[in-house]
Chains A and B, each alone.
Chain A
Amino acid sequence: QKVETVTIGVAVAQTSNTALLGQEQVIGARFAEKFLNGRGGINGTPFKLAFQDTGGDEAGAINAFQNLITKDRVVGIVGPTLSQQAFASDPIAERAKVPVLGPSNTAKGIPQIGDFIARVSAPVAVVAPNAVRQALKLDPKIKEVAVLYAQNDAFSTSETGTFQQTVKDQGLTLSTVQRFQTTDTDFTTQVQAVLNAKVDLVIISGLAADGGNLVKQLRQLGYKGLIIGGNGLNTSNMFPVCQKLCDGVIIAQAYSPAQASAANQVFVKEYRAQYKKDPPQFAAQAYAGVQVMVEALKALDRKKKLNTYDLDDLRVALNKQILAGKYNTPLGTISFDKEGELIQKEFYVAQIKMRDAKNGSFVYLK
């Protein structure tokens, strides 16, 4: 069977607790569809996106992948949202020989799942240390550090490992490590421990709601020092939670709206026009995922018309092409190593600046 219309699958969490993150990814992907098709699609032929909801669990991700692979007959998949889901669903794509780009999977071991698995999300080990270095730049006197993380969240626990390592590497003292659950709301106990440890830097790995509450309660109860937030807090969704108290939180970024590339500037402009705010990282990464697929398809198409391919062959070819290419995305120029691990040049550190109770922005630090 030849490929008539090119369909790219997007499997992210549109329901469940994880939808908070998935929603931004949906926006990013939709945006890419509209924008890239507006610019001619794949050498003049528009492509289509097929969305399948993964929910927040493993079975949901597998089902979404299966549907995309056999029913929607996609050439490649951007997804899933969580690394834990990726460990369940990526092997499915791997066996079916369908290329996958993880848009937000930052855990260790994702590209190693197989030849067809790559990601556009830089692993924590690469991103997280930047924030600590930046904090030390802002306040060289920092000595004592408290680390807090959501222990029921896979990504937060792996991120905290990196943070803790960095703290040691930088010669700082790890005064206390506190755990919480993503479903927790009250952090008085943890905050108390932090305050008692008299630290001057707090590092939080969690998701938006719990992370935001933690920041809020830290401030309300009198913590004055610097706060670093991990990848899960890297969303404006945190603003309504800690409101004015979000001010000053430092977050390492794999993406910056300020990134100077032309690709990004156009993206940011269009995004702002439509959503009246800066694109968040998860949207940018999902966008990048779709863009990488599309550009790889374009390159293939130039060599041999896509509609002459068998779907199976196209998938294999696409995977090769993805790994071979170099892409000018809003994330900057990116490429992949042979395992499928992302090679990204620029990382950023931003600090939250709240304009009022609801609105704020990430201000990028040099």
Chain B
Amino acid sequence: MDDFLQTYGFLIATMLQAGLLGLSLYFPLQAGQLSLASPGFYAVGGYAAAIMLTNPAFAGLRDTLGNGMFPLTWLAGAVLGGLLGVIVGVPALRLRGIYLALATIAFVEILRVVALNLTVTGGAVGIFGIPQAFGFQDRWQYIFLFLPLLLLTLLFARQLERSRVGRALRAIREDELAADAMGVPPTQYKVLAFVIGAVLAGLVGAMSAPFLNTWNAKQGTFDASITILAAVLIGGSRNIWGPVVGGALLAAVPEVLRFLADWRLVINGLVLVVASLYLPQGIVGALERLGRPRPPQRPTSAPVSAAEVKS
């Protein structure tokens, strides 16, 4: 068991982390917004944490807070992510589909180049020697951070979906114009969904900096954007479990295929092709189809409408 955790603990934590990033993309997607900005917020969150945990400027704070520093970095990551989310989201969300996707990728790229050029971010080398959260010794211990966060996020997402706000997001996804005409203000909710995703990604980034020991500009790139999107689609983009399953799976496949040595990435590619061909609604979508959806139940207390008029 110990060996298992030693070998695969990092992978499992990475899978959880990927699931979280998938969810960060899922929130805007619920409102039909194809935003690929998550790696940008993730990178920013990570930098915030890495800087707070290594930069001499924060030495005093670190000494005072001890392990309390870590939650503070999370807060910083989340807040920074959220702020940037508003700044980018408000103008960008006038765009649609691939155009929005590209605008958000542009944002990720701009951030990357800026990070390469700043000194606080350590330039291209990045920041290394990041202290371990709560004195964690092994990678698998990060499961203690990512798993609760994932569960909380799932709970949040589920509750959101069942709420008035969740309905509004879905309406916008289905038909923005009709949603508007039915009283749902699209801009406001699109920005909200976008910012929720940004906060989550920033938070995950802040947790990930110690997890990876080092942080650099390669953490937020176009490739990451595409990988996360692929994870969401493979998992299923219509159900909160989709991004989680997809993220976990895509993180795991190349590792599980290690025994194939040189062929592993070829096969990894084939897995992607086959999965997208045979699971057009994603894995969770396919599972959902097995169990037929429960027809909605009439509220029991409802007084049967007296004047039932057949049109």
Binds B, one of A54-62, A280-288, A347-355: A54-62
Which residues of A sit under 8 angstroms from B255, Cβ to Cβ? 63
User: Quick one: given A84-B125, A87-B126, are A67 and B218 in contact (CB under 8 Å)?
Assistant: no
Kindly name the residue among A52, A53, A88, A107 whose own CB sees the greatest number of chain B CB atoms within 10 A.
Answer: A88
Minimum Cβ distance to chain A for residue B273 (Å): 18
Minimum Cβ distance to chain A for residue B10 (Å): 5
Q: From B14, B125, B217, B265, give the contact of A15 (CB < 8 A).
A: B265
Q: From A52, A53, A113, A158, give the contact of B125 (CB < 8 A).
A: A158
Which residues of A sit under 8 angstroms from B3, Cβ to Cβ? 70-71
Q: Does A321 contact B (CB under 8 A)?
A: no
User: Quick one: given A153-B124, A154-B126, are A88 and B7 in contact (CB under 8 Å)?
Assistant: no
Assess whether B212 is in contact with A154, with CB atoms less than 8 Å apart: no
Q: Does B262 contact A (CB under 8 A)?
A: yes
Q: Does A248 contact B (CB under 8 A)?
A: no
Which residues of B sit under 8 angstroms from A51, Cβ to Cβ? 261
Assess whether A59 is in contact with B213, with CB atoms less than 8 Å apart: no
Assess whether A52 is in contact with B258, with CB atoms less than 8 Å apart: yes
A113 to chain B: closest residue by CB: B129
Q: Tell me the complex Cα distance, A67–B254, Å.
A: 13
Q: From A53, A58, A152, give the contact of B214 (CB < 8 A).
A: A58
Q: Does A95 contact B (CB under 8 A)?
A: yes
Q: Tell me the complex Cα distance, A63–B139, Å.
A: 10
Assess whether B6 is in contact with A91, with CB atoms less than 8 Å apart: no
Q: From B116, B137, B212, B254, give the contact of A62 (CB < 8 A).
A: B212
Minimum Cβ distance to chain B for residue A204 (Å): 16
Kindly name the residue among B3, B124, B138 whose own CB sees the greatest number of chain A CB atoms within 10 A.
Answer: B124
Which residues of B sit under 8 angstroms from A70, Cβ to Cβ? 3, 6-7
Q: Tell me the complex Cα distance, A157–B218, Å.
A: 14
Interface size on B, residues (CB 8 A): 33
Interface size on A, residues (CB 8 A): 36
Which residues of A sit under 8 angstroms from B117, Cβ to Cβ? 151
The interface residues of chain A, by DSSP majority, are classed as helix
Minimum Cβ distance to chain A for residue B302 (Å): 53
Q: Does A166 contact B (CB under 8 A)?
A: no
Assess whether A63 is in contact with B125, with CB atoms less than 8 Å apart: no
Q: Tell me the complex Cα distance, A104–B10, Å.
A: 25
Which residues of A sit under 8 angstroms from B258, Cβ to Cβ? 52-53, 67
Assess whether B139 is in contact with A151, with CB atoms less than 8 Å apart: no
Q: Tell me the complex Cα distance, A250–B211, Å.
A: 41
Q: Mark B123-138, 1 if CB is under 8 A from A, else 0.
A: 1111011000000011
Which residues of B sit under 8 angstroms from A113, Cβ to Cβ? 128-129
Which residues of A sit under 8 angstroms from B116, Cβ to Cβ? 151-152
Q: Mark B217-228, 1 if CB is under 8 A from A, else 0.
A: 111000000000
Assess whether B6 is in contact with A157, with CB atoms less than 8 Å apart: no
Which residues of B sit under 8 angstroms from A15, Cβ to Cβ? 264-265
Minimum Cβ distance to chain B for residue A107 (Å): 6
| 114-164 of chain B: CB within 8 A of chain A | 116-117, 123-126, 128-129, 137-139
Assess whether A156 is in contact with B213, with CB atoms less than 8 Å apart: no
Assess whether A84 is in contact with B213, with CB atoms less than 8 Å apart: no
Q: Tell me the complex Cα distance, A156–B139, Å.
A: 30
Interface contacts beyond A58-B219, A63-B14: sample of 6 additional A-B pairs, CB < 8 Å, sorted by A: A57-B218, A59-B14, A69-B7, A84-B216, A87-B214, A107-B125
| Chain B interfacial positions (CB closer than 8 Å to A) | 3, 6-11, 14, 116-117, 123-126, 128-129, 137-139, 212-214, 216-219, 254-255, 258, 261-262, 264-265
| Chain A interfacial positions (CB closer than 8 Å to B) | 14-15, 51-53, 55, 57-59, 62-63, 66-67, 69-71, 83-84, 87-92, 95-96, 107, 109, 113, 151-154, 156-158
* 11 A-B pairs with C-beta separation under 8 A: A59-B212, A63-B14, A66-B7, A66-B9, A70-B6, A87-B125, A88-B128, A88-B212, A91-B129, A95-B138, A113-B129
